[in-house]
């Protein structure tokens, strides 16, 4: 797992606007609201008749006018207020608001870092695939490895860690994504049958091109530098065991 070594998640500034999902303006291009807002560098979540939002592109709440940026996506707009969240990792805020905003921020950060790197495919919400990482090659299909950053854990009272997982994608000999469910599952199952050492090698091979990763979340910058971290043990310092020891 990768522990945040940047700012802790206390006193985070967010916008709070009174509205619900029913106030969303339909998009003529069929894009989801999440896609539309992330294109403008804004993460969002709906909770208790409010829209919670914050910038994830390096700007601070005080530097931007939320209404000018996103109001065109809603049928009505009430004056936004700036909320300082001091209980970001509490149970009350975590599941309905905080983890949703964090996942948006991760998605935006991955796109910003890898958008010009041709070997990487960003699919789904927080999945990155490396076209060079062929985990299985059959007669008609092949499978490439990727990393999912969907798992986020809270540690201490104001910090988080990412728990990256290996994921797989299946293509045919013409480099088209295989849509047949049975064929996909068969090939991916063969690719995923590997020893823990191979699993860790795949993870490390891809993570080195993604880390260090900086994630902007309003007035905070989270930094993920390594999938290992140091454990302080008196009277000596010791390194965390490699990943295969934990699997």
Contact 70, 37 (CB under 8 A): yes
* Assigned token pair, 224: 């993920």
32-73 per-position pLDDT tens digit: 999 999 999 999 999 999 999 999 999 999 999 999 999 999
Structure tokens at 135: 């985990």
Average pLDDT over every residue of 69-90: 95
| CB-based contact 113:212 (threshold 8 Å) | no
Q: What is the mean pLDDT of residues 88-97?
A: 96
pLDDT at 235 over 60: no
Please give the average per-residue pLDDT across 183-206, as a whole number. Answer: 95
pLDDT at position 228:
77
**Residue 56 in 3-state DSSP?**
coil
In terms of C-beta distances under 8 Å and separation of at least 24 residues, what long-range contacts does 27-35 make, across chains too?
A: 27/73, 33/73, 34/104
Q: CA 180, CA 167: separation in Å to the nearest integer?
A: 18
Instruction: Please state, as a whole number, how many other Cβ atoms lie within 10 Å of the Cβ of residue 104.
Output: 24
Per DSSP, the residues of 162-211 read: E--EEEEEEEETTSPBP--HHHHHHHHHHHH---HHHHHHHHHHHHTTT-
Query: Is the pLDDT reported for residue 232 higher than 60?
Result: no
pLDDT at residue 76 in the model: 94
Say yes or no to pLDDT of 243 above 50. Answer: no
Question: Max alpha carbon distance in the chain (Å)?
Answer: 63
Q: What is the pTM of this model?
A: 0.89
Mean pLDDT of 122-150: 94
Q: Is the pLDDT of residue 186 over 90?
A: yes
Lowest average pLDDT, out of 12-21, 114-123, 229-238, goes to: 229-238
Average pLDDT across the chain, whole number: 92
Phi, psi of 189 (to 5 degrees): -65, -40
């Amino acid at each position: 797992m990768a522990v945040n070594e940047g700012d802790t998640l206390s006193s985070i500034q967010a916008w709070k606007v009174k509205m619900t999902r029913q106030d969303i303006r339909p998009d003529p291009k069929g894009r989801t609201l999440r896609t539309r807002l992330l294109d403008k560098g804004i993460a969002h979540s709906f909770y208790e008749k409010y829209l919670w939002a914050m910038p994830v592109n390096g700007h601070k709440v005080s530097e931007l006018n939320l209404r000018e940026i996103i109001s065109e996506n809603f049928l009505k707009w009430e004056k936004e207020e700036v909320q300082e969240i001091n209980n970001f990792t509490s149970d009350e805020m975590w599941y309905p608001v905080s983890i949703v905003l964090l996942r948006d921020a991760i998605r935006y950060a991955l796109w910003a870092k890898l958008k010009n790197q041709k070997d990487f495919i960003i699919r789904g919400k927080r999945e990155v695939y490396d076209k060079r990482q062929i985990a299985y090659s059959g007669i008609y299909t092949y499978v490439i490895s990727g990393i999912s950053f969907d798992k986020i854990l809270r540690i201490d009272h104001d910090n988080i860690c990412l728990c990256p997982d290996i994921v797989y994608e299946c293509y045919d000999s013409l480099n088209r994504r295989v849509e047949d469910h049975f064929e996909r599952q068969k090939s991916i199952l063969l690719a995923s049958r590997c020893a823990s050492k191979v699993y860790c090698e795949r993870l490390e091979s891809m993570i080195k091109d993604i880390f260090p990763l900086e994630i902007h979340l309003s007035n905070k910058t989270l930094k993920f530098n390594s999938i290992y971290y140091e454990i302080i043990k008196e009277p000596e310092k010791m390194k965390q065991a490699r990943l295969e020891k934990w699997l």
